[in-house]
Amino acid sequence: MNNEHFGVKIAVYPGSFDPVTNGHLDIIRRSAKVFDKLVVAVLNNFNKNPLFSVDERVELLKQVTADLPNVEIDSFRDLLVNYMKQKNAHLIVRGLRAVSDFEYELQMASTNQKLDENIETFFMTSTPKYSYLSSSIVKEIARFHGPVVDLVPDEVDRAMQVKYAKE
């Protein structure tokens, strides 16, 4: 790989973030210390039935990362490698909670590099206190009005309470 691509280190952290959890936020904060610019990119995944719209997820991410000047929040609906080209980025950040995540993430990293040999994926392990945490678990707890205050930022907790109060 040609290192000239790594002048300004722009990384993309893609995901559905439905909703953003404290685990996601931990990866965002730690990545923001490593890269010059971090683009948190909300995937508009047509195969999922999300709790929050793409616009709502983008807005929640903007709220919880407002104190991070080198973090940009965006969304995309294309192949990740095409989006990366639009952002002039060559680095992907992916969080790993457990060994079980690695097989899928390795497959995705290999596929992305096959599509564009200039793409590199950086794996960041979760902080142990968030290693069990997923958006699915958070939604399941919140759906039954269980406490998620320690699992998500306050802004997300409030937004979930509003969503689930309508059910």
Q: What is the CATH number of the domain that holds 146?
A: 3.40.50.620
| 20 DSSP 8-state letter | -
pLDDT at 48 over 90: no
- 163 or 63: whose pLDDT is higher? 63
Q: Does 124 reside within a domain?
A: yes
d(CA 6, CA 4): 5
Q: Does 59 reside within a domain?
A: yes
Q: For residue 117, with 0-12 CB atoms within 10 Å meaning exposed, 13-18 middle and 19 or more buried, which class applies?
A: exposed
Q: Is 126 annotated as a binding residue?
A: no
Q: Does 2 reside within a domain?
A: no
d(CA 131, CA 93): 16
Q: Which of 143, 140, 136 is nearest to 163 (CA)?
A: 143
Average confidence score pLDDT of the chain: 92
Q: Which of 134, 132, 139 is nearest to 167 (CA)?
A: 139
pLDDT at 167 over 70: no
pLDDT at 21 over 70: yes
Pure H helices in the chain? 22-34, 54-64, 80-87, 99-115, 135-143, 154-165
Chain position carrying tokens 């958006």: 135
Name the domain count of the chain.
Answer: 1
pTM of the model: 0.92
88-119: per-residue pLDDT in tens?
999 999 999 888 889 999 999 999 999 999 99
Provide the token pair at 159: 């937004």
Q: Does 1 reside within a domain?
A: no
Q: Is 164 annotated as a binding residue?
A: no
Residues annotated catalytic, as ranges: 24, 48, 97, 135
Peptide bond into 69 cis (omega under 30): no
pLDDT at 5 over 60: no
DSSP lists the bridge partners of residue 119 as: none
128-143: per-residue pLDDT in tens?
999 989 999 999 999 9
Q: Does 75 reside within a domain?
A: yes
Q: Is 6 annotated as a binding residue?
A: no
Q: Does 140 reside within a domain?
A: yes
Q: Is 96 annotated as a binding residue?
A: yes
Chain position carrying tokens 């709502």: 56
Residue 79 domain boundaries: 7-165
